[in-house]
Amino acid sequence: MTFLNVPQLEGQRTDLQTKIEELQIINQSLREKNDKMKEDIIANLSDKLIMLSERLDAVERSTKVVSIKKFYRIKS
């Protein structure tokens, strides 16, 4: 016959509940940090995309000017 130590089991249950709550808080904190990091990365990539688009536009404009100058030199 086995006798259960109810007070000990209740103490273990309380300890486990406390540990679960601590882990849930840590998990939530990590999720928030992860979300913030993703937002920062997306913003950074967006800024880089804008910069690269502007540089590409400048290169395309420059190429068109060079092409027009070459065209008129050949025709002249």
In a domain, 1, yes or no: no
Residue 3 included in any domain: no
Please state the domain count of the chain. 1
Q: Cα(70)–Cα(42) distance, rounded to whole angstroms?
A: 41
Residue 50 included in any domain: yes
pLDDT at 3 over 90: no
Q: Determine if residue 3 is left, alpha or beta; phi over 0 gives left, psi from -120 to 50 gives alpha, anything else beta.
A: beta
Using the 8-state DSSP alphabet, how is residue 76 labeled? Answer: -
Give a yes or no: residue 47 inside a domain.
Answer: yes
Domain that holds residue 60: 8-76
| Residue pLDDT, tens place only, 7-39 | 888 999 999 999 999 999 999 999 999 999 999
What is the model's pLDDT at position 23? 98
Q: What is the pLDDT of residues 31-57, one digit of tens each?
A: 999 999 999 999 999 999 999 999 999
In a domain, 71, yes or no: yes
Predicted TM-score of the model (pTM) = 0.61
* 2 found inside a domain: no
Distance between CA atoms of residues 56 and 60, nearest Å: 6
